Structure 1
Amino acid sequence: MSVARLAAVDAAQAARVLSEVREATLAGRRVRIAPRPVIEQSWERALRSGVDPEHGRTPQVLSADEVRRRREESPLRHVLPVLREGLLSVADVARHIMVVADAEGRVLWREGSPPVLRKADGVGFEPGADWREDVVGTNGVGTPAVVRRPVQVFAAEHFVRSHTSWTCTGAPISDPRDGRLIGVVNISGPLETMHPATLAWVSSVAGLAEARLRELHLTSLERLRTVAAPVLARLDGRALVVDHDGWSAAVSGMPYVRRVSLPKSLAAGRHWLPALGSCAVEPLAGGWLLRAADEPPPATATRILLDLARPGGGAVTVSGTAGSWSRELSPRHAELLYLLAAHRCGRSAAALAADVFGDPSRTVTVRAEMSRIRRYLGTLLQHRPYRFCKEAEVEVVLPDDPGDLLPRSTAPAVERQRGALT
């Protein structure tokens, strides 16, 4: 069933059909018209998370100070002009609102039609509110964040009954440097005002925002490169200038390294970094100067702890003779490392593509993600096939409830594992 086409012709009829589908599906009855797969899978995740389809939850709203802090730290602040220009001029006239949320589903900005803004207040769609899928069920903020692609949620496709008078279209915005989710842009309004082209419209504007982020990144690296050039010209030995996120601006005396994994609390002094070994770290305007020491790096770390029991998501901790370091994992990286931990003999790119996407042909995506993982795990992760090195001791910490294993994951292999653990 093409919900968008039906809604464009007869919004009221579309709402009635979707309501019947929702009621029957959530009651466990057989339905004549099945919900769309992306919606049905989202409903299943919401049920596993304990969301009440009749009343939902009352999530805690962040304070005004915390919303302000998140706005100031979010990279989305740099693309607000792009989002406003692309969406708001139409949204206000068409009785829509634009909502921008961070990667945790927290609403940071909300603008548009005043009557619709007042209506949004009634369902808690306000700055600071938590609209993750496992908190408020299927919606146009949380669901795109989980599936990592644009999604339009019509009327009773929403999981919670009080949201079924809305239709929302959301698109994820990812960091173009590493694919990390940084937020979701959403257009919401009454069902009768929505258009079949809304999904393409919001997707295009999200793409423009990502292009702007890429442009800003390249510009900042060029500024840092200008600062680095005279500094590196005076140095002997191996040296590297990176921005505060570890992206390389210039190198001297060594092969080019695209990115270095930096500790969150990096400070001036001597540190051991996975890609360079022992380094002297000095601050520069807009980044760091890393001067590699001549002595050989410490022995390779031998213990890898993959923690998938954390409420906020997965993390990896590497420990060995050189000390230890930890890194928060994106949902995709948590999936891939979990699958490699379950298959110590290794998995080919095609096998991982089948595990994660149900499509063994999506090897390009898998290889790109594995390349990003190797930037911080280095030689601990080998390839052909992809696997943890045999010298490493790998431990996986799983949640107490098997249903909470990577709860946002739709990977077929992870869903099979949830069933096997139950």
Structure 2
Amino acid sequence: MNVARLAAVDAAQAARVLSEVREAALAGRRARIAPRPVIEQSWGRVLRSGVDPEHDVRSRLLPSEEVRRRREESPLRHVLPVLREGLLSVADVAQHIMVVADADGRVLWREGAAAVLRKADGLGFELGADWREDVVGTNGVGTPAVVRRPVQVFAGEHFVRSQTSWTCTGAPITDPRDGRLLGVVDVSGPLETMHPATLAWVDSVAKLAEARLRELHLASLERLRAVAAPVLARLAGRALVVDRDGWSAAVTGMPYVRRVTLPKSLAPGHRWLPSLGSCAVEPLAGGWLLRAEDEPRAGAVRRVVLDLARPGRCTVTVKESAVSWSRELSPRHAELLFLLAEHRAGRGAAELAEDLFGDPSRTVTVRAEMSRIRRYLGELLQHRPYRFSEDAEVMVVLPDDPRELLRQSTAPAVARKRNAEYGGRSG
């Protein structure tokens, strides 16, 4: 069924059809018309997350100070003029509103027709509200954030009944530098104001916003490059100039590095950084000058803390002198780093494949994952065989209950460790 076309011709009939489809799906019956795949998949996720379709459960709104802080920190603030120019003039005439939410699903900006804004208030679609899919069900903010593509949600395609008189069309906005989700722009309003072209319209404006972010990034790097050129010309050895987010503007004496992972609390002085190792950090206008040190400084301590104590949220923290940085690990990376901590002498790709899968031939998967880990651990992780560097102190924080060690892991080596620890305690 072409929902957009039907709704454009007869909104009331479209709402009735979609209501029938929704009621049949929630009752576990086969409807005469199947829901669209993107909606059916969303409903499945929402059901598993425990959202009640009959009860409008709303999150607590963020305080105005927190909304203000998020606005000031969000890169989306730079593209608001693009979004307003592309969406607001039409949205206001068509009795829609424009909503911009961050990557957490929190509504940060909301503009458009006054009457529709009041209706949105009645749905809890307010500044600071949480519109993630697993909080309020299938919708034009949370669902595009999950599937990472534009989605239009009509009337009864919303999972929660109170939203079924509404139509939302949202498109994700991603960081053009690394693909990270920045947020979602959404155009919403009553079903009868919907137009079949809305999806393409919102998507095109979101892409314009991403293009604008790319232009701004390149322009800022060009300004930093102009500042860096005379500085680098006077230096011997390896050096790199990066912006505040670690993106490279210029290098000398070393191969080009696209990005360096920087700790949030980076300050001038001698530091250890992934990809570069020990280096001297100096501020530049709009960025940092990083001068690599070929020899580690005497007395510098590098410590790696692998925290596996909290099931489902494993982290690695690197500490050197007065600076440290942390990263949350995927389940696979947590397994690999745990195995390397257990085998300080190192493990080859085939050995790690045997540890993870019970199959030493699966070396391609192991090598790909180890390459990803080395992007953020840099020289702390050696290869041939894979191992932590000899000068790093490695500490593993284990859960109190040995059975909770990487609870979701099916790796044979991890299972053996669980059993050995648990058996040893019980004995």
Task: Give me the identity figure in percent.
Answer: 75
Q: Is the 8 A contact 2:154 2:167 kept in 1?
A: yes
Alpha-carbon distance in structure 2 between the residues aligned to 1:26 and 1:339 = 39
Structure 1 residue 379 displacement after superposition: 7.0
Larger Rg: 2
Change (3 A) 1:62 1:338: same
Other structure's SS at 2:387 match: coil
RMSD over aligned CA atoms reads 3.5
**How many angstroms does 1:229 deviate by?**
1.1
Partner residue of 2:413?
none
Paired letter, 2:250:
A
Cα distance per residue 1:219-276 (max 9 Å; x no partner) = 0001111111111112111111100100001111111111000011111111111100
The aligned counterpart of 1:32 is 32
> Is residue 201 of structure 2 the alignment partner of residue 201 of structure 1?
yes
Mapped partners of 1:196, 1:24: distance in 2: 25
Q: Report the Cα distance in structure 2 between the residues aligned to 1:309 and 1:222, rounded to whole angstroms.
A: 44
C-alpha distance 347-198 of structure 1, shift in aligned 2 (>3 A): farther
Mean Cα displacement is larger for which, 38-47 or 112-121? Answer: 38-47
1:54 aligned partner: 54
For 2:8, the equivalent position in structure 1 comes to 8
Distance change >3 Å, CA 64–CA 318, structure 1 → 2: closer
- Deviation, 1:142, is 0.5
CA contact (8 A) 1:8 1:196 kept: yes
Matches of 2:126 and 2:152, distance apart in 1: 20
Counterpart of 1:391 in structure 2 is 387
- In structure 2, the partner of 1:317 is 316
Does the Cα contact within 8 Å between 1:83 and 1:206 map onto a contact in 2?
Answer: yes
Distance change (3 Å), C-alpha of 1:138 and 1:186: same
User: Residue 185 of structure 1 corresponds to which residue in structure 2?
Assistant: 185
Deviation at 1:114, TM superposition (A): 0.9
- What are the superposed Cα offsets for residues 266-311 of structure 1, whole Å, 9 maximum, x if unpaired? 111111111000011111110111111121599998876679956x
The alpha carbon displacement at 1:58 in A equals 2.0
> What is the one-letter code of the residue matched to 1:270?
H
Matched residue SS, 2:92: helix
TM-score between the two structures when normalised by the length of structure 1: 0.79
In structure 1, C-alpha distance between the alignment counterparts of 2:234 and 2:315, rounded to whole Å:
38
1:379-399 Cα deviation digits (max 9, x unpaired):
78999xxxx9743699999xx
Partner Cα separation in structure 1 for residue 309 and residue 178 of structure 2 = 22
Q: Where does residue 114 of structure 1 map in the other structure?
A: 114
Deviations 1:291-335 (A, max 9, x none): 11121599998876679956xxx6641559999742257xxxx48
| SS class of match (1:81) | helix
Partner of 1:146: 146
2:214 is matched by which residue type in structure 1? R
5+ unaligned residues in a row in structure 2: which ranges? 338-355, 389-393, 409-427
Distance 1:61 1:243, change over 3 A: same
Residue correspondence of structure 1 range 223-262 to structure 2 within 5 A: 223-262=223-262
Equivalent pair of 1:91/1:98 in contact (CA under 8 Å): yes
CA displacement at 1:147 relative to structure 2? 0.8
Tell me by how many angstroms 1:11 deviates.
Answer: 1.2
| Pairs aligned (count) | 374
How is 1:19-418 mapped onto 2 (pairs within 5 angstroms)? 19-295=19-295, 316-317=315-316, 325-328=325-328, 334=330, 346=362, 375-378=375-378, 390-391=386-387
Instruction: Provide closer, same or farther for how the CA distance between residues 208 and 347 of structure 1 changes in structure 2, counting only shifts above 3 A.
Output: farther
Checking the alignment, whether the CA contact within 8 Å between 2:264 and 2:325 is kept in structure 1 is: no
| TM-score, with structure 2 as normaliser | 0.78
1:5 Cα deviation from its structure 2 partner: 2.0
- Deviation, structure 1 residue 31: 2.3
Task: Name the stretch that deviates more: 32-41 or 285-294.
Answer: 32-41
CA contact (8 A) 1:380 1:389 kept: no
Distance (Å, rounded) in 2 between the aligned partners of 1:371 and 1:169:
38
**Are the aligned partners of 1:340 and 1:347 in contact in 2 as well (CA < 8 Å)?**
no
- Write the distance in 2 (CA, Å) between the matches of 1:279 and 1:143: 43
